[in-house]
Amino acid sequence: MPNRLPERDGEWIDRSQSVRFRFEGKTHEGFAGDVLSSALWANGVRLLGRSFKYHRPRGIYSLAGHDISSMVEDAQRTNLRGDLLPIEPNLDVRAVNTAGSLERDWLRITDHFGRFMPVGFYYKAFHTPRRLFPLYENRIRKIAGLGRVNPKGHLPPSAKDYAFCDFVVVGGGPAGLAGAIAAAEQGLKVLLVEEHPHLGGSLLWQHARDEAAREQLKDLLSRADALENLTIRCGTQVAGWYADHWLALVDAERLTKLRAMCTLVATGCFEQPAVFGNNDLPGVMLSSAARRLIYLYRVRPFERAVVLTGNREGYGVALDLLQAGVHVVAVVDLRANGEMSDLAESVAAAGIEIFKHHAVYEAVASRDKTSVVGAILCPLNEQGGPESIGRVKLSCDGIVMSVGWTPASGIAYQAGLRFEYDERVEQLIPESESDRVFVAGRAAGVFDLESQMEDGRRAGLAAAAACGRFEGDIPERPVHTGPPPSHPYPIMPHPGKKNFVDLDEDLHLADFKNAHQEGFDNIELIKRFTTVGMGPTQGKLSNFNAIRILSRLNGATINETGSTVSRPFHQPVSMAKLSGRRFHPMRHTPLHAQHLALSANMIHAGSWLRPEYYKIDDSSRADCILSEAENVRSGVGVIDLSTLGKLHFCGPDAARFLEQIYTGTFSEQRVGRLRYALGCDEQGIIIEDGVVARLSEHHFYVTATSSGAAGFYRDLQRWALLFEMDVTLVNETGHLAAINLAGPKAREVLRSLSDFALDDDAFPYLAVRQGHVAGAEALLMRIGFVGELGYEIHIPAGTATHVWQKLLEAGRELEIRPFGVEAQRLLRLEKGHLIVGQDTDALTHPYEADLGWAIKAKKPFFIGSRSLQILAARPLARQLVGLALPQSSKVPLPEECHLIIEDGEIAGRITSVAHRTTLGQPIAMAFVTPEMASPGREVTIRVAGGKLLVATVVPMPFYDPENSRQKVAD
């Protein structure tokens, strides 16, 4: 590790743990605590990756998680940022987005064609002739993109957790620490979140040379440590801020969802690059990156450095470099008067040449273009632009940029704050704070170290006040004095080279000028046309320079130009963490285990799992279904109907309420009797059907469709409020199980198990009785959805298994068999019963579905009644009819939703079909036009392969039109 500096207090590396890792097939060594980029730099590796578009060589730039061009991948993971990725034993990574190897990436040739690819070039070519576009697109897509997805990748689920606090402080630098401590001292429950592995923020690198600052950090840390109500989470990013202080915290392990009362944004700033020729070469870096290398990772950044500055900080950096053994060739100051403070004297005293009112015009590249070998300086004219005379070339292997900052304002934006440009600091600062969202420190334009802590303390007290824990005076925010920490326009035009504004997207200065020339002259349009800020850093290092450039082009102020809104996430978050353990609600009926034991083929029905049919060895699915159905027709079967909605309507107004909900009448319904119930919405569209059982004068028990039950119950509760009725609703859907026992032998099975009279007089068709079945309290409804003698047995869920088993036992000799959803669908189709949602659609009203009989139009009101009155007066557009399909035809039978065709136009569709039935004939239900609806009429169905099949309209039900089967006497 030739560039490693001697041990120093506060370093992040653990020299006792040496770590060997592989990069681009070569083995390197670093220390635990190193990130990939720092470990490589320590070993003299400067080519860390290639850029997105031109495949230009890139090195360390920010060393703060924004170095997109040094992304790597391993066998499992991709798009890992080299400046965030901790090295560990067995780490074996290569650069993303290179063709061949990083060094020999043959796509680097695109760099030479850059002038043919101006901003938006892809809008201007490749589209003619049209047939060639797919070819071009394919090429372009292959070149675009960064990492490769590992098709076998499968991250284990990551748990999520929740956290709560009064006050969340985002950022563990001087302002954040001071704010957290101040609030915690007032008794607030405080959570301090720091994205880096250690607390300290800018104290760790910006103020590292300052002994007093180091003492201050120690003091802050020990005070924080002593506060039990202050929790600190390092290595955790606040990925996003959402309504009502709901924050997404992400660390290496998981997503934490935090609810807070107040938020302090003490996120500091992103250092901003200068724009000059070749400003992206490995060896050109932000001053904060150089300082991070020196103080956090103890790596000497360069041998010979030129410092480009526009602020006081650049002089401090020069001294830092000097102390780290770097030969500082020059400090190049963009400002006409240079630096006035004593720092300038120290720099001069150290023998470093200072070029006032100069800029770095170009970084000189080595022959292989992968490193810096010099800097060309130019004097500046009065407008701050480069002079063409008086240029100086200096030899160096590093150029450090210290020209200014922009606040890390994303979280503050998301929390509703807005920022404005302040010329005292030449950066954006918050326009104002809200009563629960605060900004402190450099993010608020406060740069003096003492002032930052004061500002943090102010915010902490304000939060305590907002939480009712502090009543004293809250100090004012300290005001910045002295020259601005940022330079207003650190951007040098450079005709020949590439002077990059956005390193994610390889956009250079001319791209902005050209986009502006084409009319993209406001910030949103220029962003979309150039794609500035659309890359993985989301413009953290480029948006603000883009705004500066656009302001100049428009001759407008920064505030007139405006800025773009920052959206989550702060740093990208993996889908594994976001998705967590992926819970999907899935409901089992109380009889689930019974079905599995009986070899049921389970299918999803909404959120429920239901038996589709019960498998029999060697029998096909269709055979199983038909034989289940035949067994119901000829003997007896049982089906689990526990998914039905099961609701109680109680109270003096229950009958009246039902009459307003459903299309039918219930006041006259006798106790102990059942009625069919049809429900419409306000448009008159069918939404619900079921059975209403009157258990007593003021008590009805109602079944509802499985999928609609929850929503229907919810709506009922509102109608009960609106109608101001004295009715109580109880949803017992999950509490009760239901089993339908159906078939001519049903009564026989039940007789041995129940304690009440089953004969036709005592328990007629469409009656309801309460009693016991197999010892369990049960409610029995004699109905025949499947068209046979049948009893729907409703029992407490806990007794379901027992009752089910007893029914099967009692019916064993009668060859009882369970039947599934498919057999039931077949049986009800034979009986001509429609299924809401299958035989009706989002616009079907009762008249179309031949359910006009269910509408008691004389009632003064029910939901949908007025609409149905309108619809009844209109000619029908379609009608639901039965179709008899040919038994043997060369043309295949239709599938559900095949169309009826008449005169070449669509005249309807099949809603339900059964190819094999207990009737021996294939049948269907279909919508047809009213002209086609009369029995005997032939209709043409377009079936698979576009073939046409003729079917005949027949009356429904297909089976037992006299309803004799359901009423079968004992």
Partner 1 sequence: MPHRLLKFGFNKEHPEPRMFHAPAQLKDEYDVVIIGGGGHGLGAAYYLARDYGITNVAVIEKGYIGGGGTGRNTAIVRSNYLTNEGARFYQASIELFQDLSREFDLNLFYSERGHFTLAHSPASLRTQRWRAEVNKHLGIDSEVIGPSEVKRLVPEIDLQCGGHLSPIHGALYHPPGAVARHDAVAWGYARGADRAGVEIHQQTEVTDIEIRDHAVIGVHTDKGFIKTGKVLSAVAGWTTAITPMVGLRTPLTVHPLQAVVSEPLKPWLDKIVVSASLHLYVSQSARGELVAGASLDPYELISMRSTLDFTEGVSSHLVDLFPMLGDIKIMRQWAGLCDMTPDFSPIMGTTPIDGFYIDAGWGTWGFKATPISAKTMAATLAEDKDHELIEPFNLSRFSRWQLVGEKGAASVGH
Partner 2 sequence: MKIIHCPINGPRPLQEFHFGGQVREMPVGSQVSDAEWADYVFNRSGEPGIQREWWYHTASGTWFIAERDCQSDEFIRTYLYGGRESDA
* Minimal distance, residue 51 CB to partner 1, in Å: 12
Based on the shown chain and the rule CB under 8 A, indicate whether residue 150 belongs to the binding site for partner 1. Answer: yes
Site string for partner 2, 636-675 (x = CB under 8 A): ----------------------------------------
Among 3, 414, 663, 879, contact with partner 1 (rule: CB under 8 A):
414
Among 126-134, 310-318, 452-460, 791-799, the segment contacting partner 1 (CB under 8 A): 126-134
Closer to partner 1 by CB, 371 or 538: give it: 538
* Minimal distance, residue 76 CB to partner 1, in Å: 7
Residue 724: C-alpha distances to residues 123, 653, 677 (Å): 63, 10, 22
Q: How far apart are CA 85 and CA 74, in angstroms?
A: 12
Site string for partner 2, 810-849 (x = CB under 8 A): ----------------------------------------
* Minimal distance, residue 238 CB to partner 1, in Å: 12
Burial 412-438 (b: 16+ CB within 10 A, else e): bbbbebebebbeebbbbbbeebeebbb
Cβ neighbours for 631, distance < 8 A, ≥ 6 positions apart: 637, 743, 815, 817, 819
Based on the shown chain and the rule CB under 8 A, indicate whether residue 796 belongs to the binding site for partner 1. Answer: no
Cβ neighbours for 233, distance < 8 A, ≥ 6 positions apart: 191, 192, 193, 194, 249, 251
Among 23-31, 56-64, 129-137, 720-728, the segment contacting partner 2 (CB under 8 A): 720-728
- What is the gyration radius of the CA atoms in the chain, in angstroms? 39
Tell me how long the chain is: 970
Asked whether the beta carbons of 781 and 641 are under 8 A apart, the reply is: no
Among all chains, which residue has been given the structure tokens 């069919």?
676
Q: How far apart are CA 545 and CA 434, in angstroms?
A: 28
Phi, psi of 203 (to 5 degrees): -60, -30
How many chain residues touch partner 2 (CB under 8 A)?
Answer: 20
718 interface partner picked from partner 2, partner 1, none, CB below 5 to 8 A per type: partner 2
714 interface partner picked from partner 1, partner 2, none, CB below 5 to 8 A per type: partner 2
Based on the shown chain and the rule CB under 8 A, indicate whether residue 683 belongs to the binding site for partner 1. Answer: yes
Closer to partner 2 by CB, 735 or 866: give it: 866
113 interface partner picked from partner 2, partner 1, none, CB below 5 to 8 A per type: partner 1
Burial 382-392 (b: 16+ CB within 10 A, else e): eebebeeeeee
Q: How far apart are CA 480 and CA 463, in angstroms?
A: 23
Burial 791-826 (b: 16+ CB within 10 A, else e): bbbbbebebbeebbebbbebbeebebbbbbbbbbbb
Among 20, 135, 136, 342, contact with partner 1 (rule: CB under 8 A):
136
Based on the shown chain and the rule CB under 8 A, indicate whether residue 733 belongs to the binding site for partner 2. Answer: no
Closer to partner 1 by CB, 653 or 688: give it: 688
* Minimal distance, residue 163 CB to partner 2, in Å: 14
Among 349, 722, 842, 890, contact with partner 2 (rule: CB under 8 A):
722
Q: Helix or strand or coil: residue 217?
A: helix
Peptide bond into 301 cis (omega under 30): no
Of 233, 163, 168, residue with least CA distance to 467: 168
Based on the shown chain and the rule CB under 8 A, indicate whether residue 861 belongs to the binding site for partner 2. Answer: yes
Closer to partner 2 by CB, 3 or 733: give it: 733
Give 725's DSSP letter.
-
Closer to partner 1 by CB, 472 or 555: give it: 555
Among 7, 211, 244, 903, contact with partner 2 (rule: CB under 8 A):
244
How many chain residues touch partner 1 (CB under 8 A)?
Answer: 102
* Minimal distance, residue 239 CB to partner 1, in Å: 9
Closer to partner 2 by CB, 136 or 242: give it: 242
Give the 3-state secondary structure of 309-358. Answer: ECCCHHHHHHHHHHHCCCEEEEEEECCCCCCCCHHHHHHHHCCCEEEECE
Among 8, 88, 100, 121, contact with partner 1 (rule: CB under 8 A):
121
Q: How far apart are CA 965 and CA 959, in angstroms?
A: 10
Based on the shown chain and the rule CB under 8 A, indicate whether residue 869 belongs to the binding site for partner 2. Answer: yes
787 interface partner picked from partner 2, partner 1, none, CB below 5 to 8 A per type: none
Q: How far apart are CA 403 and CA 274, in angstroms?
A: 6
* Minimal distance, residue 861 CB to partner 2, in Å: 6
Phi, psi of 678 (to 5 degrees): -120, 130
Based on the shown chain and the rule CB under 8 A, indicate whether residue 853 belongs to the binding site for partner 2. Answer: no
Give 35's DSSP letter.
B
Closer to partner 1 by CB, 385 or 580: give it: 580
Closer to partner 2 by CB, 718 or 890: give it: 718
Among 867, 889, 940, 952, contact with partner 2 (rule: CB under 8 A):
867
Based on the shown chain and the rule CB under 8 A, indicate whether residue 513 belongs to the binding site for partner 1. Answer: yes
> Between residue 900 and residue 919, which ones bind partner 1 under the rule CB under 8 A?
901, 906, 909
Based on the shown chain and the rule CB under 8 A, indicate whether residue 866 belongs to the binding site for partner 2. Answer: yes
717 interface partner picked from partner 1, partner 2, none, CB below 5 to 8 A per type: partner 2
Based on the shown chain and the rule CB under 8 A, indicate whether residue 162 belongs to the binding site for partner 1. Answer: no
Positive/negative CA dihedral, 675, 681, 686, 690: negative
Based on the shown chain and the rule CB under 8 A, indicate whether residue 576 belongs to the binding site for partner 1. Answer: yes
Among 434, 559, 579, 952, contact with partner 1 (rule: CB under 8 A):
579
Closer to partner 1 by CB, 528 or 673: give it: 528
Backbone region of residue 665 per phi and psi (left: phi > 0; alpha: psi in -120 to 50; beta: other values):
beta
721 interface partner picked from partner 1, partner 2, none, CB below 5 to 8 A per type: partner 2
> Between residue 57 and residue 76, which ones bind partner 1 under the rule CB under 8 A?
76
137 interface partner picked from partner 1, partner 2, none, CB below 5 to 8 A per type: partner 1
* Minimal distance, residue 151 CB to partner 1, in Å: 6
Enumerate the H helices of 605-653 as residue ranges.
621-634
Closer to partner 1 by CB, 143 or 968: give it: 143
Positive/negative CA dihedral, 429, 571, 63, 5: positive
> Between residue 676 and residue 715, which ones bind partner 2 under the rule CB under 8 A?
682-683, 714
**DSSP codes, 904-968:** TEEEEEEEEEESS-TTSS-EEEEEE-GGG-STT-EEEEE-GGG-EEEEEEE-S-SS-TT-TTTT-
Give 477's DSSP letter.
P
Based on the shown chain and the rule CB under 8 A, indicate whether residue 524 belongs to the binding site for partner 1. Answer: yes
Based on the shown chain and the rule CB under 8 A, indicate whether residue 514 belongs to the binding site for partner 1. Answer: yes
Burial 631-653 (b: 16+ CB within 10 A, else e): bbbebbbbbbbbbbbbbbbbbeb
User: Which stretches of the chain bind partner 2, using CB under 8 A?
Assistant: 242-244, 246, 257, 682-683, 714, 717-718, 721-722, 724, 860-861, 865-867, 869-870
